[in-house]
Amino acid sequence: MNSLPTNRIKIKSDTLPAEIAELQKRVAQLPPEYRVDMEKSVQRVVEFTSRRRRILNLVQEALGQLRLDMKYLMFDLDATRRERDLYKKALED
C-alpha cells in the first residue's frame, strides 16, 4: 500500500484548535491502510478550519475599520454641527 506522508496535513499547530491537532496525531498513528483514507478527511477539516479562521480575521478587521470610520464620521458630524451653530449665531448677531 502507498501511504501519504503525515507531514502533508501539517499546519502550524498554534493556528489549529487543540481537538484538530489531537486528531492529526491520532490519525498519524493509524496503520497505513487506514491512515491514507483518514488523512484526506483530516486534510479537508484542517483546510476548512484554516479558511474559516482567515474569514473570521477578515471580518474582525473589517469591523474594526468600520468602527474607526464611524468614529471619524461622528467627529466630522459634531464639528459640522458646531460650525453651523456658530455661523447661525453670527448671522443672528
pTM of the model: 0.64
Amino acid present at 37: D
Which region holds residue 30: left if phi is over 0, alpha if psi is between -120 and 50, else beta? beta
Q: What is the pLDDT of residues 20-73, one digit of tens each?
A: 999 999 999 999 988 998 999 999 999 999 999 999 999 999 999 999 999 999
Other CB atoms closer than 10 Å to residue 74's CB: what's the count? 10
Predicted confidence at residue 16, as pLDDT, reads 85
Residue type, 61: E
